[in-house]
């Protein structure tokens, strides 16, 4: 009886899903449709895979992930950057079939932890927050365009900006309504909104995009958001610490909240001023403040406590 663990790599594109299975070295392809994914799951289930691993592809993986989740098949979605680095280390060329093989080998070697999909409400909230952020970006671009456009098109741009403002307001209302309706989010939402600088939209973003708040250590949550400084030392050379990776959407949302907090949150404001007095560049100081805000939020949720000017016992102040 073969007791070897089965690891599966899946490379997902719009039309197809290329699959590679270890240790049997099977290479398969299915249509990225409900029927194609059902056929893949029917074939896969008897194998009892240890993990099905695939890359985040900006939404193309959603149907695949939902189907795996519905059939209780353990899965993990990984950052494509990690797969590319692993492929370079192996000296692999890039084709869809080879990508699936690399992902399977990555899964077997790295053994990423299984992931659970957020609730349907959390996914809807994430979609609304993402769409609002997209429209805000378009509105900013139109506002920048308006100042240097000829008179012949300024009226059209101005009307578009007004339409975008209305859509953004409507989305904001939808986001707040949905966040208020989820009873299991109420206490966490109340805690997050008690922090000076945290608004309803940023709070909703944290609920949807950062459900790990309160469950991880300070270092883990900072690294997850992408605000943990990474060492760049070699021998006697001490490189400049920089942030990288993490959840960019969460980091961008918290960036705006932190900007407000440096003016209106007494703890973050004092911390920001101390860093500037030490000679830190404003951008570096602001990044450190984002990390501090994340750590404070994490501690507050962990201890189930609202905002207080005295930080939580495990939320460092410097």
Backbone φ and ψ of 233, nearest 5°: -105, 145
Sheet with 26-31: strands ordered across: 26-31, 16-22, 7-12, 51-55, 75-78
pLDDT in tens, 193-232: 999 999 988 898 888 888 888 888 888 888 888 887 655 5
Task: Specify whether the CB–CB gap between 53 and 79 falls below 8 A.
Answer: no
Confidence of residue 7 (pLDDT cuts 50, 70, 90): very high
- CA–CA dist 287, 277 (Å, integer): 16
| Angle (nearest 5°) at CA 289 between 254 and 247 | 40
Lowest pLDDT segment from 17-21, 132-136, 204-208, 285-289: 204-208
Three-class SS of residue 77?
strand
The alpha carbon of 254 is separated from its chain's Cα centroid by a whole number of angstroms, namely: 12
What fold does the segment set 119-181 form as a domain? Methane Monooxygenase Hydroxylase; Chain G, domain 1 (1.20.58)
Strand locations in the chain (E): 7-12, 16-22, 26-31, 51-55, 75-78, 233-234, 237-238
pLDDT in tens, 243-260: 556 777 888 889 989 999
307 has a pLDDT exceeding 70: yes
Mean pLDDT rounded to a whole number for the chain: 86
311 has a pLDDT exceeding 90: no
In the chain, where the domains are located: 7-110, 119-181, 187-231+243-318
Task: Specify whether the CB–CB gap between 266 and 308 falls below 8 A.
Answer: no
How is the chain split among helix, strand and coil, in percent rounded to 5? 60, 10, 30
What fold does the segment set 7-110 form as a domain? Nucleotidyltransferase; domain 5 (3.30.420)
3-state secondary structure 5-41: CCEEEEEECCCEEEEEEECCCEEEEEECCHHHHHHHH
pLDDT at 97: 66
Full-model pTM? 0.70
């Amino acid at each position: 009886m073969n007791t070897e663990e089965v690891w599966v790599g899946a490379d997902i594109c719009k039309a197809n899903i290329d699959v590679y299975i270890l240790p049997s070295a099977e290479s398969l392809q299915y249509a990225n449709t409900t029927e194609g994914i059902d056929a893949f799951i029917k074939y896969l289930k008897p194998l009892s895979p240890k993990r099905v691993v695939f890359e985040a592809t900006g939404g193309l993986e959603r149907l695949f992930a939902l189907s795996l989740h519905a059939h209780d098949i353990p899965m993990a979605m990984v950052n494509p950057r990690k797969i590319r680095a692993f492929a370079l280390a192996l000296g692999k060329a890039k084709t869809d079939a080879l990508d699936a093989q690399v992902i399977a080998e990555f899964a077997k070697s790295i053994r990423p932890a299984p992931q659970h999909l957020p609730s349907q409400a959390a996914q809807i909230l994430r979609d609304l927050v993402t769409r609002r952020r997209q429209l805000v970006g378009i509105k900013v671009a139109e506002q920048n365009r308006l100042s240097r456009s000829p008179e012949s098109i300024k009226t059209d741009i101005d009307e578009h900006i007004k339409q975008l403002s209305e859509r953004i307001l409507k989305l904001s209302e939808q986001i707040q309504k949905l966040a208020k309706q989820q009873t299991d989010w109420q206490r966490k939402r109340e805690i997050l909104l008690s922090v000076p600088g945290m608004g309803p939209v940023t709070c909703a973003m944290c609920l949807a995009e950062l459900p790990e708040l309160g469950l991880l250590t300070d270092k883990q949550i900072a690294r997850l958001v992408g605000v943990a400084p990474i060492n760049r030392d070699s021998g006697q050379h001490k490189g400049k610490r920089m942030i990288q990776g993490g959840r960019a959407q969460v980091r961008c949302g918290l960036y705006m909240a932190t900007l407000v907090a440096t003016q209106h949150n007494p703890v973050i404001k004092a911390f920001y001023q101390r860093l500037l007095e030490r000679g830190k560049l404003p951008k570096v100081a602001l990044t450190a403040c984002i990390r501090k805000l994340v750590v404070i939020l994490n501690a507050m949720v962990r201890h189930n406590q609202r905002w207080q000017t005295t930080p939580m016992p495990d939320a460092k102040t410097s």
